[in-house]
Amino acid sequence: MMVCEYKPGLEGIPAAESSVSDVDGQKGILEYRGIRIEELAQKSTFLETAYLLIWGQLPTSEELQAFEHEVRFHRRIKYRIRDMMKCFPESGHPMDALQASAAALGLFYSRRDLHNPAYIRDAVVRLLATIPTMVAAFQLMRKGNDPVRPRDDLDYSANFLYMLNEKEPDPLAARIFDVCLILHAEHTMNASTFSARVTASTLTDPYAVVASAVGTLGGPLHGGANEEVIQMLEEIGSVGNVRPYLEDCLQRKAKIMGFGHRVYKVKDPRATILQDLAQQLFAKFGSDKYYDIAVEMERVVEEKLAHKGIYPNVDFYSGLVYAKLGIPTDLFTPIFAIARVAGWLAHWKEQLAENRIFRPTQVYNGQHEIAYTAIEER
Ligand code: SDX
């Protein structure tokens, strides 16, 4: 067996062959199944994009209608899962609640018929349909309210915002939220997708695959950064305080949340689109100081870190959009998960076709031939 050189974090090591998406980190290009993210953000919907990612091509009108109907039909969660969620502590982080609930789906549906296309489609539909409902349900429960039923007359994003806020959303807000889901749906071999593929490679059920990926996404170096960005903007508090704040970060060699990327060495194309979405929301619903602070941060970080290829990533402006949509900060990462389920499922299907368990090697740097020492001699 040929052993490659060890690279911490597997930096630059291909972990799979995939046709789901591609990133050019030098040019700032992201494509889903070969289509540029800017086109999908402008012309597609999240469910159409999910179909593209998972089945590899854009659906016909009939295929899309059938898919949307199946997802709409499966939005409700079993009362036993709802009862289980009622036992979760209100102080628990919604990402932990989501991970537990996603895994619980496996208790009801994981017949593991992995070579049956009908089982695969059923799992895809159930996960895309119920994850938003579980996020919204936990949010209402922890406020002491009963979850609201999904509304069949609302499309995917409008229904989620309705279940979350208990009122029908503004059409522009629902469209902007749907674009955010498109932007967060997939991103080649990021940490949570790698998690999903490793878990999928053992031929476990898709619910365990998604639960494993949710757990990975929650970390502040990955999907959890968007929550930290808003807290950082609040801590900075004014445009005038941006430079001293950043200089202190750099002095402490602290990572600035929402900046930097393992692949992009220019501004993340998703950040550019999210910045525009934030401006649209501010134009309609009124601006606030955080946008100005964010723009000043981007300017000063570029001045100080552009030479290292450190620019805004997807998490930098997404928090501003979600905050303007009235979404609580600790739901930012669960919303990232709602979108990324599409990418994880696309990679799950690809890994099933690969049919080879992940089992990398290691560089052993321990000792050999150590004698066992009796406890009385230690
Ligand atoms: C996502 O992989 C994906 O595709 C992820 C994602 C997706 O869609 O799935 O795009 C989503 O996770 C976006 C990233 C969200 N995380 C953050 O915003 C957290 C802050 N960012 C950093 O932690 C960091 O940039 C990472 C984790 C994102 C990338 O880290 P790398 O590639 O391991 O970079 P590195 O730590 O090796 O840093 C290289 C240099 C270092 O300086 P030197 O030691 O060489 O002098 O760049 C510096 C780092 O200190 N650096 C930063 C920095 N990020 C890197 N310095 C200040 N602030 C930062 N944010």
DSSP string, 120-134: HHHHHHHHHHHHHHH
Q: Give the residue numbers marked as catalytic.
A: 261, 315
Least confident of 108-117, 156-165, 351-360: 108-117
Q: Is the pLDDT of residue 74 over 90?
A: yes
Q: Residue 316: which of 251, 233, 234 has the closest Cα?
A: 233
Q: Give me ligand 1 centre to Cα 216, in Å.
A: 16
Cβ–ligand 1 contact at 217 (below 6 Å): no
User: Which ligand 1 atom sits closest to the C-alpha of 222?
Assistant: 12
Q: Give the chain's mean pLDDT.
A: 96
Q: Give me ligand 1 centre to Cα 345, in Å.
A: 25
Q: Give me ligand 1 centre to Cα 310, in Å.
A: 8
29: which strand partners?
Answer: 24
Residues 199-236 pLDDT 10s: 999 999 999 999 999 999 999 999 989 999 999 999 99
Average pLDDT over residues 69-86: 96
Q: Is the pLDDT of residue 364 over 80?
A: yes
Whole-angstrom distance, CA of residue 320 vs CA of residue 305:
22
Q: Nearest 5°: CA angle at 321, between 98 and 168?
A: 70
Percent residues over pLDDT 70 in the chain: 100
Residues 287-332 pLDDT 10s: 888 999 999 999 999 999 999 999 999 999 999 999 999 999 999 9
Cβ–ligand 1 contact at 185 (below 6 Å): no
Q: Is the pLDDT of residue 2 over 80?
A: no
Q: 46-55 and 117-142 are packed helices; what angle lies between their axes, rounded to 10 degrees?
A: 140
Residues 194-205 pLDDT 10s: 999 999 999 999
pTM: 0.96
Cβ–ligand 1 contact at 311 (below 6 Å): no
